[in-house]
Structure 1
Amino acid sequence: MNTAKDEIQSLLQKLPDDCTFEDIQYHLYVIEKLRKGIERAESEGVVSQEEVEKRLSKWASK
């Protein structure tokens, strides 16, 4: 398991040398949102593509 420090160092190596603080903040924000989404999907489960399409078609037809 990577530590937060390891993940940030990896991110910084991937970003261009001329990136801004805002670029770094944005990438950290996206990584955190993805991590929380994955954790939520693992704990609460997910909805299949078919179920999403079924629910969306009912909502869109109203």
Structure 2
Amino acid sequence: MNTIKQKIESILNQLPEDCSIEDIQYHLYVLEKVRLGLKVADTENRLKQEEVEGLLNKWLIE
């Protein structure tokens, strides 16, 4: 399993040499949001595909 430090190093290695601090901050922000989203998805109740499609059918106008 990669540590957070390894993930950050991987992000930094993928960015161009002339990237800005804002570019780095953005990528770290996205990494954290994805990490938190996956954690929530693992710990909270999730809807089945059929349930989501049923809800969307109610909300969307055809």
With normalisation by structure 1, the TM-score equals 0.81
Which residue identity is paired with 1:47? L
The 4+ residue runs of structure 1 with deviation greater than 6 A are none
For 1:23 and 1:49, the matched residues in 2 are separated by 35
Q: Percent identity?
A: 56
Q: Which residues in structure 2 correspond to 1:1-62 (within 5 Å)? A: 1-60=1-60
Q: Cα distance, 1:30 vs. partner?
A: 0.7
Q: Kindly provide the CA deviation profile for residues 32-62 of structure 1, in whole angstroms up to 9, marking residues without a partner as x.
A: 111111111111132223211211222335x
Which residue identity is paired with 1:59? W
Q: Kindly provide the CA deviation profile for residues 1-57 of structure 1, in whole angstroms up to 9, marking residues without a partner as x.
A: 322221111110011111111111111111111111111111113222321121122
State the Cα RMSD in Å: 1.5
Question: Structure 1 regions of 5+ residues with no counterpart?
Answer: none
For 1:23 and 1:48, the matched residues in 2 are separated by 36
